Every structure is written in structure tokens, then in C-alpha cells.
């Protein structure tokens, strides 16, 4: 345990160190800093997604949390004329509300049925937001959303803090008692029940934590880009991205989702996007195929040669 | 009234249970006293495993109440019953396959009894305790083997070790001796005796009568979801309803 705490501390130091190094190295290159900041943001979503996945289910609907966080925060700022950081929490809370509904309806589902249900649930949210013109402005979207971050550097530092928080919670979901609970639940729910773990509660907590962080990320995202329309946040790409990052980096490693996000998102945005503006996203599909075929436990596990970890 | 008899461990009172709309238990009532070894016998499909699911909370009964140490546990979830001291094994072993044998037991030690909070996860003491449990069932030499690589008989022993690690006062063993070699059966019976000497109450399902009758204090015979006979071993085995249930006449 002490060893694991030391590793987590090392991880945090590493993230801060590398972030500051990048900031210094790419001084004046706002575009690069901006891409790294977005990589941190989506790494946080990937951590959040994986916290949920560690309870033994795969979600393809995290765009619902991300989008509701974005819309919730943006609309709250608009209607109540609030311009402080507190609105980020509103975004997280609204995503959490959506997670409560998920929990009520999907609690009995497992495996493919659960994944399909989450996918459909995100679509339902998109359709509602798209058509509720009087509240959300519908498909015409929102513009001039409150700016919360004075510049790229500030946004960069905020996403750095965000990714550190997400990293620590994700670490806890792997290495602490809570992590052991999640593991027993994903290995065998009935057996977990029989040794005194309450699988429904464990799954619920992991979903709620995951949804809140994802909503928070959506809110931070929207106050950076300052405009919003349903197709920007409620799309399969947003749902699939954290999945791809987690699988690529390593779902059972504490750093996996961050490394996956960092490698793939940066490569995609800096190297591919300028040359292949319309097809660069194919790299995500490519990455998932390569990972599943050759490194089923992700890059981190592949590098460390960690023995196979059952996915449940 | 519940708790009036201080040696009463478990009491079932008119339990009915449905599975997929079909009645699988009807009006099941019996009592198990502390430190007793009771075997539940009956042909395939009689409702023995369903009875275990009801006692451990995996299946909600549609009618009736049950009491554990005088306390009404009818509506409690399986994890709460585990915390109170009811542990079980499954008919088909359900180890946490990706975890090693000792990790399986460690999980049970940590979550089995929240009152005696073993919150020092990773504490060497926890591992030592887990090793003791593995030693008791005789698979300590496989402690670091992933559970999925254990043989069937080892997996079943692991289940017993894991159940014991939750520190139960009532242990339910489902088909404990099925598929074991004669020598393994002798070992299993020795284990059961040693559990009794530690003060545990045991409820054992056994399809093959020749195994558990050797250690049981009492038998409960089940057929078609009903208790058809209950009492001393010899009396139950000679009961006409039991004979007809097994021979199908």
C-alpha cells in the first residue's frame, strides 16, 4: 500500500513536471499548448470513463454526461447571469442527475445490453436537447458563452489540475479497498455479494463519480470553446474517445488512460489533422484495432509485461 | 417467538419461493441449532440450491420469514447477511478468476466483516491470515496461482477458504463433496469435523447420501420444493417419502 501511495505521488509529480516542461518548451506556441490542454481534458474524461468501466461494464454513452455538463453549465451561466467557476460544478451535478436516471433504468442490464442501452440513452439526450428550442436554443446552438479562462495558459493549468484529480480518483479505483471492491464486482458479481460486497452500490458509486467528472470536463470544455451546438458534444466520437484512450493506454494501469489520450490525441491533432482534415479521425479506429489485436491490455501493460488481468 | 431458544441459529418459517414464475419452494420450515451439522438431501431439482439462495439472500422469498440468531433477516441483501455471519459456497465454484488464490481470500477478509474493519489493505497481517485459511483447506502451496488455473477441486477448496475468511457462524456448503475422489472425500469430511470443532454451524447440500450422513447430526429431506422428512439421520433415510423421492416411485 505504501508503495502504491509512493507510485501515485510519483505519478502526480511526473504530470506536473512534464506539464511545466511542455509549457516552457512550447512558449508562444499557443496551438500546441492548446492541444496538450485538450489532451489533458479528454484524458480526464478517459479516466472518468474507466472508473465506470472498472465496475465491469462498458459505456458508449458518456457523451450524454459530457454534453449535459457542457449544456448545463452554459445555460446556467446564460439564464442566471453567473460568471464564476461555480458553474462548472453545476455542469457536473446535471451530469450526475442523468447518471441517477441511468442507474434506475439500467441497473439490471449487463454486457452488450448495457452498452447498447447507454448508447441509446445518449441519443435520447441529444434529441431532447436538439429539439427543446425554448430552453436550449436547439440546433441553432449557443454562442458567446461565458469565458472562464483568461488565456490559453490558464486553461492549460486548469486542465492540468483536472487531470491530476481524475488521475488520483482513478488510482483509488484501482489500488485501494474501493479498487478491490470494484475488482471483485467485475470478476464475479454473485461471488462478490457472497463475501460481503454490495455490487449494486459499488456499481452505482463508480457510475456517479464517473458521470460527475465527465460533466465537469464538459463544462470546462464549453467555457473554453465558448460556443456549443448539440452535434458538438452529443456524438459517438465523444463517447468512443475515452474508450479508445483507455484501451490503448491500458485499462488496468493507473496511468493508462492518460498515456492513451496523450499519445493519440496529440498525434491526431498535431500531426494528422492538418494534413487529413476530413479523415484524420480514422486513427481512432485504427488504434483500437491495433490495441485489441496486439496489446489487449494496452500499451502500459504491454510495456510492463503485466500478466493478463481478467476483464470480467 | 424469535430468539426464545438461545441455541437456535437459523429458522425458516413457511418459505415460498418462485423462480421465473414457477413455484420452486413451498411452505418450507425448519430450524438449525447452533453448532449443528445439518444436511439437506433430495433428488435433482428438488429445490436444495434454491433453498440456499433464499437463506443467503440471493433469491427473495415470495412468502414466509426467516430468522438468524433470532433476528429477522427476510429482507436483507446477501452482503448484509454475510456481515451478520452467514457464508456460502456455490454449487459451481465461482472464484475471482483473474485474482490469485490468496487475493481471493484477502478480499473476503476485508469485506466479510465491516465491523472488525480490516482497513489496512496490504497489511502483512491480512496476508498471513489469508494464508492460514488457505492452509486449512490445503491449498496454501497454490497461494499465488491465479484462481482460474486451479483444478476444480482446488477451486472448491478456495471457495471454502474464502467463505471462512468472512468469519461466519453459519456456513452453507453447496454440493461440497460432489465429484471428489474417495480419498478427497475423507479429507473433506475431516475438514468438516474441524470446522465443527471451531464452533461453526454447518448446513450442507449433498446429492450423494453416503458422504454427509457420516458427519451430519440431522437431515432435512426436500422433494419438489417441500420438506418431506426431517430429523435424525437414520429416521429420515428410512422415511417412505425419501425412499420414493430417490427411487422415483
DSSP per-residue string spanning chain B: -TTSSTTEEEEEEEEEEEETTEEEEEEEEEEEETT-EEEEE--TTSSHHHHHHHHHTSS--SEEEEEETTEE-TT--HHHHHHHTEEE--SS----TTSBHHHHHHHHHHHH-GGG----TT-HHHHHHHHHHHHHHT-GGGTTSBGGGS-HHHHHHHHHHHHHHT--SEEEEESTTTT--HHHHHHHHHHHHHHHHTT-EEEEE-SSHHHHTTT-SEEEEEETTEEEEEEEHHHHHT-HHHHHHHHT-
Cα-flanking dihedrals φ and ψ of residue B212, to 5°? Answer: -80, -25
Q: What is the pLDDT of residue A138?
A: 81
pLDDT (0 to 100) of residue A310: 45
A195/B77 touch (CB, cutoff 8 Å), yes or no = no
| pTM given for the model | 0.89
Res A226: pLDDT: 87
pLDDT of residue A287: 87
pLDDT at A311: 43
| Residue A195: predicted pLDDT | 93
pLDDT computed for residue B3 by the predictor: 42
Cα separations (Å) of B165 from A194, A284, B34, B87? 11, 45, 19, 9
- Asked, for residue A174, whether it belongs to a domain, the answer is yes
Nearest CA in chain B to A193: B79
Q: Is the dihedral of CA B134, B139, B144, B148 positive or negative?
A: negative
Is A131 within a domain? yes
Residues in chain A with pLDDT values less than 70: 305-312
Host domain of residue A90: 2-235
CATH of B8-247, one of 3.40.50.1000, 3.30.70.20, 3.40.50.300, 3.40.47.10: 3.40.50.300
Stronger pLDDT, B95 or A84, i.e. the higher one: B95
Q: Considering the domain boundaries, does residue A120 fall inside one? A: yes
Nearest to B82 among A196, A308, A312 (CB): A196
Say if A267 falls within a structural domain.
no
Give B-chain residues touching A194 at CB under 8 angstroms.
Answer: 56, 78, 82, 87-88, 90, 94, 163
What was the pLDDT predicted at B187?
Answer: 82
CB-based contact B96 A188, cutoff 8 Å: yes
Compute the nearest-CA separation of B97 from chain A (Å).
7
In chain B, the percentage of residues whose pLDDT exceeds 90 is 42
Handedness of CA A46, A49, A54, A57 (dihedral sign): negative
User: What ipTM describes this predicted complex?
Assistant: 0.89
Give domain status of residue A243, yes or no.
no
In whole angstroms, give the CA distance from residue A240 to residue A233: 12
Does A47 fall in a domain?
A: yes
Report chain A residues whose CB lies below 8 A from the CB of B82: 193-196
| Residue A193 C-alpha, separation from nearest chain B C-alpha, in angstroms | 5
Measured between beta carbons, the chain B residues lying within 8 angstroms of A180 are 106-107, 110-111, 121
Residue A100 domain-assigned? yes
- Chain A CA closest to residue B89: A194
Q: Where are the domains of chain B?
A: 8-247
Q: How many domains are contained in chain A?
A: 1
Tens-digit pLDDT profile for residues A41-80: 999 999 999 999 999 999 999 999 999 999 999 999 988 8
Q: Which residues touch A127 (CB under 8 Å, ≥6 apart)?
A: none
* Band (B1; pLDDT cuts 50, 70, 90): very low
Indicate the length of chain B as a whole number. 249
Amino acid at each position: 500500500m505504501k508503495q502504491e501511495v509512493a507510485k501515485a505521488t510519483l505519478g502526480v509529480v511526473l504530470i506536473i513536471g512534464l506539464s511545466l516542461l511542455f509549457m516552457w518548451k512550447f512558449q508562444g506556441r499557443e496551438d500546441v499548448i492548446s492541444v496538450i490542454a485538450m489532451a489533458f481534458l479528454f484524458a480526464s474524461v478517459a479516466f472518468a470513463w474507466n472508473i465506470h468501466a472498472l465496475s465491469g461494464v462498458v459505456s458508449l454513452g458518456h457523451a450524454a454526461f459530457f454534453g449535459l455538463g457542457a449544456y448545463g453549465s452554459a445555460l446556467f451561466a446564460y439564464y442566471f447571469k453567473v460568471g464564476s467557476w461555480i458553474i462548472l460544478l453545476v455542469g457536473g451535478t446535471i451530469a450526475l442527475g442523468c447518471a441517477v436516471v441511468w442507474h434506475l433504468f439500467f441497473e439490471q442490464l449487463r454486457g452488450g445490453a448495457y452498452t447498447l442501452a447507454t448508447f441509446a440513452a445518449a441519443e435520447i439526450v441529444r434529441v431532447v436537447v436538439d429539439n427543446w428550442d425554448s430552453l436550449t436554443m436547439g440546433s441553432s446552438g449557443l454562442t458567446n458563452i461565458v469565458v472562464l479562462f483568461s488565456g490559453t495558459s490558464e486553461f492549460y493549468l486548469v486542465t492540468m489540475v483536472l487531470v491530476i484529480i481524475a488521475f488520483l480518483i482513478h488510482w483509488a479505483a484501482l489500488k485501494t479497498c474501493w479498487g478491490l471492491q470494484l475488482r471483485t464486482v467485475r470478476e464475479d458479481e454473485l461471488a462478490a455479494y457472497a463475501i460481503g460486497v454490495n455490487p449494486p452500490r459499488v456499481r452505482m458509486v463508480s457510475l456517479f463519480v464517473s458521470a460527475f467528472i465527465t460533466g465537469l470536463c464538459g463544462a470546462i470544455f464549453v467555457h473554453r470553446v465558448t460556443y456549443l451546438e448539440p452535434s458538438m458534444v452529443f456524438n459517438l466520437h465523444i463517447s468512443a474517445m475515452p474508450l479508445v484512450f483507455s484501451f490503448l493506454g491500458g485499462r488496468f494501469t493507473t496511468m493508462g488512460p492518460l498515456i492513451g489520450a496523450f499519445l493519440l490525441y496529440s498525434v491526431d491533432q498535431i500531426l494528422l489533422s492538418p494534413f487529413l482534415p476530413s479523415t484524420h479521425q480514422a486513427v481512432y479506429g485504427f488504434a483500437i484495432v491495433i490495441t485489441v489485436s496486439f496489446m489487449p491490455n494496452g500499451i502500459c501493460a504491454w510495456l510492463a509485461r503485466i500478466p493478463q488481468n481478467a476483464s470480467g | 417467538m424469535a430468539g426464545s431458544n438461545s441455541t437456535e441459529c437459523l429458522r425458516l418459517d413457511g418459505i415460498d419461493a418462485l423462480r421465473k414464475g414457477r413455484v420452486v419452494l413451498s411452505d418450507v420450515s425448519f430450524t438449525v441449532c447452533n453448532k449443528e451439522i445439518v444436511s439437506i438431501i433430495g433428488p435433482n431439482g428438488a429445490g436444495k440450491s434454491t433453498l440456499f439462495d433464499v437463506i443467503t439472500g440471493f433469491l427473495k422469498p415470495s412468502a414466509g420469514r426467516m430468522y438468524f440468531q433470532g433476528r429477522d433477516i427476510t429482507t436483507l441483501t446477501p452482503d448484509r447477511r454475510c456481515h451478520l455471519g452467514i457464508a456460502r459456497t456455490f454449487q459451481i465454484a465461482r472464484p475471482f478468476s483473474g485474482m490469485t488464490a490468496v487475493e481471493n481470500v484477502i478480499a473476503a477478509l476485508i469485506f466479510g466483516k465491516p465491523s472488525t474493519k480490516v482497513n489496512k489493505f496490504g497489511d502483512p497481517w491480512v496476508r498471513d491470515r489469508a494464508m492460514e485459511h488457505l492452509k486449512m483447506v490445503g491449498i496454501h502451496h497454490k497461494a499465488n496461482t491465479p484462481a482460474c488455473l486451479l483444478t476444480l477441486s482446488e477451486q472448491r477448496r478456495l471457495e471454502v477458504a474464502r467463505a471462512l475468511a468472512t468469519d461466519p457462524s453459519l456456513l452453507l456448503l453447496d454440493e461440497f463433496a460432489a465429484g471428489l475422489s474417495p480419498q478427497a472425500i475423507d479429507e473433506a469430511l475431516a475438514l468438516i469435523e474441524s470446522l465443527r470443532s471451531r464452533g461453526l454451524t454447518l448446513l450442507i447440500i449433498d446429492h450423494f447420501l453416503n458422504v454427509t450422513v457420516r458427519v451430519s447430526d440431522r437431515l432435512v429431506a426436500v422433494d419438489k420444493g417441500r420438506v418431506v422428512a426431517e430429523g435424525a439421520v437414520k429416521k429420515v433415510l428410512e422415511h417412505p417419502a425419501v425412499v420414493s423421492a430417490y427411487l422415483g416411485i
